[in-house]
Structure 1
Amino acid sequence: MTETTPDVPSAAGQSRFRRLAAMLWADKFALVAMIFLIVVLLCAILGPMLLDNLATRQNLRGRNAPPFDLTRGWAFVLGADALGRPLLARIIVAARNTIMVAAGAVACSLLIGAALGLVAGYSRRGLSQAIMRLADVIMSFPSLLMAVIVLYMLSASVTNLIIVLAITRIPIYLRTTRAEVLELRERMFVQAALVMGASARRIVFRHILPMVLPTLLTIATLDFAFVMLAESSLSFLGIGIQPPEITWGLMVSQGRPYLTHAWWLSFWPGLAIILTTLSLNLLSNWMRVALDPAQRWRLEMGKKND
């Protein structure tokens, strides 16, 4: 008879996942925020495939139709815009571009900023100073003003918007990563790896990066909300994504002339922005506690009390 040994890494991964799930269940606000964000993500993925025709179909007889009027169908529960298009369908479809811009900008800035921060924190002083001066140059310009100038010069497309917003957020991840690396490189486990002959690349990616990653993910979750608000601001100013493409910020801008007699045109997409931003902030606070061994006991105590 042969005995099968259990898959230790797989069991450890499942145990870690169950622990995080239990801590998420202990924080009900974070749990509700996670559920809401999952719904938004599903809308961004499935919405354009299912509701694109309905969101672009015009009906001038139903222009500025008030909300909660179900005589026109479920899609008009939030009302209709100035061209008679259902707001609910348009909000669901607009989630794709809004989430795409925010996720693309955060991902690009996280990857580039973290890579430069690792180099600046673990390399020789000359290269580190050059990278930090680059970050200072980027930070010397107000992020929104830089985006306005660049988008006036270039076409306001999704790609250009992601690039501009990503550039403005790189210094945040660069400075955070460098500060973490400068502190971690002096710890005993790094010195032990050096004594054992580990290469600089192995030390950075095997020993330092896993310690820095939880902090970067927490910042990225919070930064996602900031980038989404920045995209909404640019769209509200008329230099973001242009029709026929649509985002929540553009919907708020399009409803601005009708605020006195059709408030729902700007209210519902604005509410979607507020709820998504609030959910991201709540989830970021939960991640900051859950990924910090010094504060994790709060959630674990809440789990035991439940």
Structure 2
Amino acid sequence: MTMTDARILTEETPKRSGAFSRWLSMLWADKFAFFAAIFLLIVLLCAILGPYFLGDAANKMNLRGRNAAPFHLRHGIMYVLGADALGRPLLARVIVAAQNTILVAAAAVCASALLGSALGLVAGYSRRSAAQWIMRLGDVIMSFPSLLLAVIVLYMLEPSVANIVLVLAITRIPIYLRTSRAETLEIRERMFVQAAKVMGASNTRIIFRHILPVMLPTLVTIATLDFAFVMLAESSLSFLGLGIQAPEITWGLMVSQGRPYLTNAWWLSFWPGLAIILTTLSLNLLSNWMRIALDPTQRWRLEMGGRKNG
């Protein structure tokens, strides 16, 4: 490493740490968003590490502890939330089920966001007839209620993880398609885009270097909100018996499995249902913070709040 490289590295390190502390300060300015981010981080760690450490415990049956009530530790710490109809600890099952729930929602949101945004960029920037065909495709998809379309398709197909992701991704494409098209139509008329055209920049460079970075914060905020909706849709499908099937587990499937025992073992459905509610609420709180933090015209509110708290 030369002296120049070392100097550049030492200059960039404080900038990166300063940017991180700045964003952390803005997050701390909104206490609800801060604790929502912590909760989502815990859920993400459970989804990644839970099956490796608690996979066996989540499937281990203990018929003597069937429908064991919560907060009684005579069967061990894993039974602090109670047990299901086969004596399996609910704490371990809720943690392990986070992986499938988060995986399905993340895959569906990423697929729909990438495809919908790409089609929206083409429809907004191109002046050819193909742009109209893309918008009509979005209108056709939106003409069907998303959950009803998912129920019909999964009723005809095998309710596997791939089919669930495919159906949920297709139903969410119009949201990103319409948003990215509207943003592209507005951004392409700005002066810096016109200047790039005059300087001879190609259409690909204009789209990826000038238009996409401007609209990316809006798409990220929408994707965060949409993540909560897709997770609820997957839970609804699992509750109806059209989602992921046993022996795999999701939070929605756990709620469905506890439905026959609501009168005498309410905790079977309560804890996975609470996990769904808290995760959805945290995503909504975090998306509201991102809407302000990613907007340069409104970011000063969080920056001022962070300075006062500091």
TM over 0.5, yes or no? yes
Q: Match of 1:251, SS?
A: helix
Paired amino acid for 1:141:
F
Match of 1:158 among 161, 172, 175: 161
Trace 1:38-117 onto structure 2 (pairs within 5 A): 38-117=41-120
Paired amino acid for 1:45:
I
Q: Match of 1:201, SS?
A: helix
Whole-angstrom CA distance in 1 between matches of 2:202 and 2:16: 28
- 1:32 matched to which residue of 2? 35
Paired amino acid for 2:207:
V
1:48 Cα shift?
Answer: 0.6
- 2:215 matched to which residue of 1? 212
Whole-angstrom CA distance in 1 between matches of 2:172 and 2:15: 35
Match of 1:149 among 149, 152, 165: 152
- 2:134 matched to which residue of 1? 131
Whole-angstrom CA distance in 2 between matches of 1:105 and 1:186: 32
- 1:261 matched to which residue of 2? 264
TM-score normalised over the length of structure 1:
0.97
Whole-angstrom CA distance in 2 between matches of 1:121 and 1:14: 37
Gaps of 5+ in 2: none
RMSD value, Cα: 1.4
Whole-angstrom CA distance in 1 between matches of 2:170 and 2:12: 38
Paired amino acid for 2:124:
G
Q: Does 1:6 align with 2:8?
A: yes
Paired amino acid for 2:265:
A
1:255 Cα shift?
Answer: 0.4
Match of 1:297 among 287, 296, 300: 300
1:52 Cα shift?
Answer: 0.9
TM-score normalised over the length of structure 2:
0.96
1:25 Cα shift?
Answer: 1.4
- 1:195 matched to which residue of 2? 198
Moved more, 220-229 or 6-15: 6-15
- 1:287 matched to which residue of 2? 290
1:15 Cα shift?
Answer: 3.5
1:211 Cα shift?
Answer: 0.4
1:248-277: CA deviations, max 9, x gaps?
000000000100110000000000000000
Gaps of 5+ in 1: none
Moved more, 137-146 or 124-133: 124-133
